[in-house]
Amino acid sequence: MFDTALTTADFVFLAKGAGMTIVVTIISVIAGTVLGIVFGVIRYQLGAIWAAPLIFVLDIFRSIPLLIQLVLANAFMGTILRLNMSGFTVACIVLSMYTAAYCAEIVRGGIEAVPATTRRAARSLGMSWGQDMREIVLPLATRVALPSWIGLALGVMKDSALVYVVQVTELLRSTQILITRLQEPLLLLMICGAFYFVISFPLARFGGYLEKRWSND
């Protein structure tokens, strides 16, 4: 007979950790996507030479492991700037910039995938730069960039497990706490994996649905 010391309160504890994972992911993905669109458009418009300072900063966030970024950001905010920021705030800021750094390249690639002839045709019809970007470029670029963006969002959700280093009790940290107390690692890790699957599956399926629908238009 299967026996476990896991209680309803422990499930609630894990659910709260999953909720924290979802909140951190949503905030980081939304903020990072908005910044990524802005950075990506700037990166494309200015070109590699004029956008070199921006590219350098984004490369820092893409190159340094996220764990190190979280530790350094937490130390920088508290020790150097002496800002009384919570670990949650630090985690959201770092993950947002991390997301933006990758999203900027996704946006840039999507814009470059729009045929130049299409853009010239739009401008010949009297469209301004803003109208061209809003009505022509971004809708077409979105179709190209969506699969990569879905992958990025899922990656950020899984990478959010690292925010435990700034004292944020998300899903994986909650699981580790229960493993230490209950000594049932296999069961708890299976439950943790099930939570991650439930969180990520709808996003992956929604992305597949949009991609399929747009490919048939």
pLDDT tens for each residue of 25-76: 999 999 999 999 999 999 888 887 888 899 999 999 999 999 999 999 988 8
- Residue position matching structure tokens 């924290």: 20
In sequence order, the 6+-apart residues with CB closer than 8 A to the CB of 70 are 90, 91, 94, 162, 163, 165, 166
Residue 198 exposed, middle or buried by CB count within 10 Å (0-12, 13-18, 19+): exposed
Q: Given 3-state DSSP classes, what are the helix, strand and coil percentages for the chain, each rounded to the nearest 5?
A: 85, 0, 15
pLDDT tens for each residue of 104-162: 999 999 888 888 888 788 778 788 887 888 888 888 888 888 888 999 999 999 999 99
Which is nearest to 102 in space by CA: 61, 157, 143, 150? 61
pLDDT at 1 over 60: no
Q: What is the CATH number of domain 8-104+145-215?
A: 1.10.3720.10
pLDDT at 217 over 70: no
Give the torsion sign (CA, 32, 38, 41, 47): negative
**Contact of 21 with 158, CB cutoff 8 Å:** no
User: Looking at residue 216, what is its pLDDT?
Assistant: 62
User: Looking at residue 120, what is its pLDDT?
Assistant: 81
pLDDT at 215 over 70: no
Q: How many CA atoms lie within 13 A of 39 on its CB side?
A: 25
Domain ranges of the chain: 8-104+145-215
User: Looking at residue 2, what is its pLDDT?
Assistant: 58
User: Looking at residue 61, what is its pLDDT?
Assistant: 93
More confident residue, 205 or 80: 205
Task: Give this prediction's pTM.
Answer: 0.89
